[in-house]
Amino acid sequence: MARAPQTLFDKVWRRHEVSAESADCPAVLYIDLHLIHEVTSPQAFAVLRERGLTVRRPERTLATMDHSTPTLTAQVFGGTPIALEAARRQVRELEANCAESGVELLGLTHSQRGIVHVIGPELGLTQPGKTIVCGDSHTSTHGAVGALAFGIGTTEVGYVLATQCLLQRKPRTLAVNVSGELRAGVTAKDLILAIIGRLGVSGGTGHVIEYRGDTMRALDMEERMTVCNMSIEAGARAGMIGPDETTYRYLEGRPRAPQGEAWERALEAWRALPTDAGARFDREVDLDAAGVEPMITYGTNPGMVIPIGGAIPQRPGDAAFGQALAYMGLTPGEPIRDQPVNVVFLGSCTNARLSDLRAAARLLRGRRIAPGLRMLVVPGSQQVKRQAEAEGLDRVFLEAGAEWRESGCSMCLGMNGDVVGRGEYSVSTSNRNFEGRQGSGARTLLASPLTAAACAVRGRVTDPRELM
C-alpha cells in the first residue's frame, strides 16, 4: 500500500518520536539541537544540580549570550565592566554552567556570538529536518530551513539538558498559502505582519504553520527567517518552510553544516522532507502577496497592524482596544502617517541580518536622520557586524547620525540598558509591541527595516516608497 502523503511537519515529528503519543501520555520527542542563553537557563542548571543530574549530551547544546548583554563596545570588549549588575551575574553564571557541564559557549567576546536565532542558521547548525528548541519563543525562526523549531520554558530547558527529550502533544497543522509577487518597497516583514493581521494574535494557537506558495519559494533565506520568526506572534508553536535549492545554497559551506560526503548524504535526506502532494493540513489560509502594502502596528500587540497609508481602526465599545490606544497615545480614525517618532531601532532576531542592514542603508545613504531623533543600529551577530563593516554599511549609518553597536537583543526588550523612554514613540524592526516591551511606558510601532529607515529620515511615520 502506498504511504499516505505527509506534511513536512509530520515527517520531522515522526522521525523524532522516541515514543508516540497515546491517550494517556504525550509523545517523547528527541531534540537534535538545543540552544541556550543567559536569561532562561540558570534556573535549569540549578535544578540539575539539586537533583544530582548531569547534561546528557553536551555536544547537542550550544550556548550564547544576547538578551541582557550590553551593546556598547567598551562594555563588550574594552575592559569597562558591564554596567548592569544583574547582566554581569547572568553572564558569569552561564560561563560557569557551561564550563562545568561541557556545553560549548560562544561567550561575550567570541567572534561568532550573536542573537541566538541569528547565529544558529549563520553557523549552519540550523538544518532541515532537525528538531531545535531554545528557552525563547522566537526559536520559530529556525523553521525557515525546514526544521521543527519551537520555544520552551526553563523547566523544559532542564529536561532537554538532562534527557535530550521533551514530552509533547502533537500540534495541529496550518498551511498559510501565499501567492503573487511582493510589490516594490514591500518586504518579508510586511508580509508576516499582514499574515498576523489576518490570523490574529491567537489564530495559530495549538498549530505549527507551514508557509507555502510561490511567494515563499521566491523569498531568500533571510527573508524566510523574518517570516518564521514571527509565527509565535500569531500564537503558533512553530513556523516552517519546506527546504529547497535556496535552502541548500544558503547552508552549503557554512562552518557547522555537513561537509563533503556527509553533505551529499544530508542533501539526499533533506530532499525527501518537503510536504508530499496531496498531504492534508488541519487548516488552510490563503493570502495574495500582491495586495500587501508596507505595514505598521498602531497598538500593543502585533495583530494591531495596518497598511502604512491606512487609518487607525475604530472599535467603539471595545474597552481593551480603547486602553491600548490610550497607552499608545493614538486616536482611532486618524491616519498613522506623519505620527512623530522619537526613536528608530534597527535590530533584533526578526530584522538584523545583513540583508536587513543593507536595505536600510540603501535608503539612508547620503541622508541624515531627523534632528532630535535617536536611531540605534544593532547587528544580529558579530559576524553580521563584520560583514556590514566590510561593505561600509557602518559608515552609512554613522554618517546619517545613527549609533552602531555590538550585537545583541538590545532595544527589542528593555533589559540590557538599551531602552526607549517613557511616552516615546519608537519605530522598531523587532517583533513585539507589547506595553513596556522596549522600556517602561515606551510606545512601539513595528515595521520593516525600509520603513524604519524612512521614518528615521523624516522623523515621522513615512511610507518608504516616498524615499525610494
Q: How far is the CB of 148 from other proteins (least distance, A)?
A: 14
Q: How many CB atoms lie within 10 A of CB 89?
A: 14
Nearer to ligand SF4, 27 or 413 (CB): 413
Q: Using CB distances below 5 to 8 A depending on partner kind, what does residue 142 bind out of ligand SF4, other proteins, none?
A: none
As a whole number of angstroms, the distance between CA 6 and CA 397 comes to 47
Positive or negative, the CA dihedral 157, 64, 128, 33 is negative
Under the phi-then-psi rule, with left for phi > 0, alpha for psi from -120 to 50, and beta for the rest, what region is 257?
Answer: beta
As a whole number of angstroms, the distance between CA 399 and CA 364 comes to 9
Q: How far is the CB of 162 from other proteins (least distance, A)?
A: 6
Per-residue mark of binding to ligand SF4, 343-362 (x: CB under 6 A):
-----xx-------------
| Cα distances (angstroms) measured from residue 441 to each of 60, 337, 391 | 40, 22, 37
Lookup: cell for 304: 494591531
Residue 115 near ligand SF4 by CB under 6 A = yes
Q: How far is the CB of 159 from other proteins (least distance, A)?
A: 6
Collapsing DSSP to helix, strand or coil, 439 comes out as: coil
- Residues sharing a CB contact under 8 Å with residue 156, sequence separation 6 or more, in sequence order: 133, 135, 166
Residue 186 near ligand SF4 by CB under 6 A = no
Residue 431 near ligand SF4 by CB under 6 A = yes
Q: Using CB distances below 5 to 8 A depending on partner kind, what does residue 467 bind out of ligand SF4, other proteins, none?
A: none
Q: Using CB distances below 5 to 8 A depending on partner kind, what does residue 87 bind out of ligand SF4, other proteins, none?
A: other proteins
> Which residues bind to other proteins, rule: CB under 8 A?
18-19, 23-26, 28, 30, 39-40, 42-43, 46-47, 51, 53, 67-68, 84, 86-87, 89-90, 93, 135-137, 139, 151-156, 158-159, 162-167, 169, 171, 201-202, 205-206, 232, 235, 237, 301, 303, 319-320, 323, 413-415, 422, 432, 434-437, 440-441
Nearer to ligand SF4, 6 or 140 (CB): 140
Q: How many CB atoms lie within 10 A of CB 190?
A: 27
Residue 127 near ligand SF4 by CB under 6 A = no
Positive or negative, the CA dihedral 228, 232, 233, 236 is positive
Q: How far is the CB of 302 from other proteins (least distance, A)?
A: 10
Say if residues 144 and 206 touch (Cβ distance below 8 Å): no
- Residues of span 388-417 touching ligand SF4 by CB under 6 A: 409, 412-413
- Residues sharing a CB contact under 8 Å with residue 374, sequence separation 6 or more, in sequence order: 342, 343, 344, 403
Q: How far is the CB of 24 from other proteins (least distance, A)?
A: 5
As a whole number of angstroms, the distance between CA 408 and CA 329 comes to 29
- Residues of span 36-95 touching ligand SF4 by CB under 6 A: 66-67
Nearer to other proteins, 30 or 248 (CB): 30
Positive or negative, the CA dihedral 429, 435, 437, 438 is positive
Residue 444 near ligand SF4 by CB under 6 A = no
How is residue 429 annotated by DSSP? Answer: S
Q: How far is the CB of 468 from other proteins (least distance, A)?
A: 33
Q: Using CB distances below 5 to 8 A depending on partner kind, what does residue 152 bind out of other proteins, ligand SF4, none?
A: other proteins
Element (H, E) at 327: helix 319-328
- Residues sharing a CB contact under 8 Å with residue 16, sequence separation 6 or more, in sequence order: 29, 30, 31, 32, 131, 148
Q: How far is the CB of 367 from other proteins (least distance, A)?
A: 32
Q: How far is the CB of 294 from other proteins (least distance, A)?
A: 24
User: Interface with ligand SF4 by CB under 6 A: which residues?
Assistant: 66-67, 115, 117, 136, 138, 348-349, 409, 412-413, 430-431
